[in-house]
Chains A and B, each alone.
Chain A
Amino acid sequence: MSTEYKNTSFLFLFTALASIAFVLTDLTNAVAIIILSVIVTLLTALIMGLLKSVLQDKFIVPATLVVSVGLAKMMQLLAQAFVPTVNETLGLFVLMIAFVALSLNAPALMGEKKGLGQILLAGVRHLVPFICIVLVVGLLRGLLGAGTIELLDFTNSSATYFSATVLPSSFIVAWFDTLSGGVVLLACVLAGYKACFVKEETK
């Protein structure tokens, strides 16, 4: 199983991204997803880093799954209590963040033995491109789908941190607000990322 995880860190960046493309409609949602993903991924890495030495290899994926889903559920309950607008917008997709955490931590948890520090560092290393891609997709979808760049206050949906109308309404393509538009945009961003930052493998 570990052979499939080799050299696939790029792949893991977006395996779970397609799932959350549905709710990645603007910058506000992108920031919410990033915050939740960072917390769940790092806590999963921390807990699994501690548990890895006492678990057999075949139990690592199921255990990571249980830990990440538990943490994602905890985040959902916290969001429900403190930032209900985020919870309403993301809905069931908050739980999909568990699979982002699983995807981002899997390369470090699989294969050869690594210490807690190395697992955490690998989690952080994989989070950086993930954050960049989510931010760019959120920004572009908000821009192309609604013509605005705005970051709403999570605790008060009527207030904004900043808001700017960039495109006039005649230039807006509402298709980018749909799931298919989002996935196409995500594919283009990923292609751009891959072309710029991922070296082509020599055969």
Chain B
Amino acid sequence: MNEFAALMTALVVGNIGLTRFVGVSPLLTKTLSRKSVLTHSLVSCLVIFLASVAAHFVDLALISGGPKLAYLDALIYIAIVLILFALVSFVGKHLGVNQDSAMLVYFNASILFLMMNQASLTLSVAAALLYALGSGLGFACFYWIAESMNARLHVVDAPYGFKGEALLLLSLGIFAYAISGLIGIV
């Protein structure tokens, strides 16, 4: 996979939010203000980028190479996720950014999936960095779009069963179907 393909795959056609629905959970807990959405998008973008870069090198050093600890891969990756979140929370606290750990914890799903998925791809260092950047930006875009959708759907007069979470999932499903049209083009 060349560098451009890696970037575009991570950003659009292989977007972990839109094409796998991993990490969609935080959207369902509550609606947020624009500022909070922006903060969460940026934090998730940063964490996903760092996690994805870390996953590439950890895979080379410990999992597919070195001591070959393939049976411990999930635990190694989750340790990276927890370290990153501790770091982000620490930095966020000192910068006065409102950290919502309950929501951030569900991004773990997307990050773990991304790292496991990236490990299954054999990318060069440059492609891995671009893949990481694309994943972070892609997830942030997905989060921004989905949260905007969620805010609008909350005021829609829908039947009780569909109100809220089900309507959001329904809309995201249709949106993912539209995006799937890009597979093979991008």
Binding site for B on A (CB under 8 A): 1, 4-5, 8, 11, 14-16, 18-19, 21-22, 61-62, 65-66, 69-70, 72-73, 76-77, 92, 95-96, 98-99, 102-103, 175, 178-184, 186-188, 190-196, 200
Residue among B22, B74, B117, B161 making CB contact with A72, cutoff 8 Å: B74
Besides A62-B82, A183-B172, 5 more A-B contacts (Cβ < 8 Å) are: A92-B120, A96-B22, A183-B21, A183-B173, A190-B166
- Report how far A192 CA is from B166 CA in the complex, Å: 9
- A residues in contact with B82, CB < 8 Å: 62, 65-66
CB distance from B139 to the nearest CB of A (A): 14
Q: Which residue of B lies closest to A4 (CB)?
A: B102
Most A-side CB within 10 Å, residue of B30, B101, B165, B172: B165
- A residues in contact with B106, CB < 8 Å: 15, 99
Segment at the interface with A among B4-12, B51-59, B108-116:
B108-116
Contact A92 B117 (CB under 8 A): yes
Contact B102 A19 (CB under 8 A): no
| CB neighbors of A among B4-31 (8 A) | 19-25, 28-30
Q: Which residue of A lies closest to B74 (CB)?
A: A73
| CB neighbors of A among B159-182 (8 A) | 159-162, 165-167, 169-170, 172-174, 176-177, 180
- Report how far A180 CA is from B108 CA in the complex, Å: 22
Contact A66 B169 (CB under 8 A): no
Q: Which residue of A lies closest to B178 (CB)?
A: A180
- A residues in contact with B159, CB < 8 Å: 191, 195
- B residues in contact with A76, CB < 8 Å: 74
Q: Which residue of A lies closest to B116 (CB)?
A: A92
Contact B109 A188 (CB under 8 A): no
- B residues in contact with A190, CB < 8 Å: 161, 165-166, 169
Decide if the interface of chain B is mainly helix, strand, loop or mixed: helix
- A residues in contact with B112, CB < 8 Å: 69, 95
- A residues in contact with B79, CB < 8 Å: 66
Decide if the interface of chain A is mainly helix, strand, loop or mixed: helix
- A residues in contact with B116, CB < 8 Å: 92, 95
Residue among A16, A61, A182, A191 making CB contact with B101, cutoff 8 Å: A61
Sample (30) of A-B pairs whose CB atoms are under 8 Å apart: A1-B102, A15-B25, A16-B109, A18-B21, A18-B25, A19-B20, A19-B109, A19-B113, A21-B21, A22-B21, A61-B101, A65-B82, A66-B75, A69-B74, A69-B112, A92-B113, A92-B116, A92-B120, A95-B113, A99-B108, A102-B105, A179-B21, A179-B180, A180-B173, A180-B176, A181-B177, A183-B173, A188-B166, A191-B167, A194-B160
Q: With an 8 A cutoff between CB atoms, is B42 at the interface?
A: no
Contact A70 B22 (CB under 8 A): no
CB distance from A184 to the nearest CB of B (A): 4
- Report how far A195 CA is from B108 CA in the complex, Å: 30
CB distance from A84 to the nearest CB of B (A): 16
Q: With an 8 A cutoff between CB atoms, is B78 at the interface?
A: yes
CB distance from A144 to the nearest CB of B (A): 14
Contact B170 A188 (CB under 8 A): yes
- Report how far A8 CA is from B28 CA in the complex, Å: 10
- B residues in contact with A1, CB < 8 Å: 101-102
| CB neighbors of A among B135-186 (8 A) | 159-162, 165-167, 169-170, 172-174, 176-177, 180
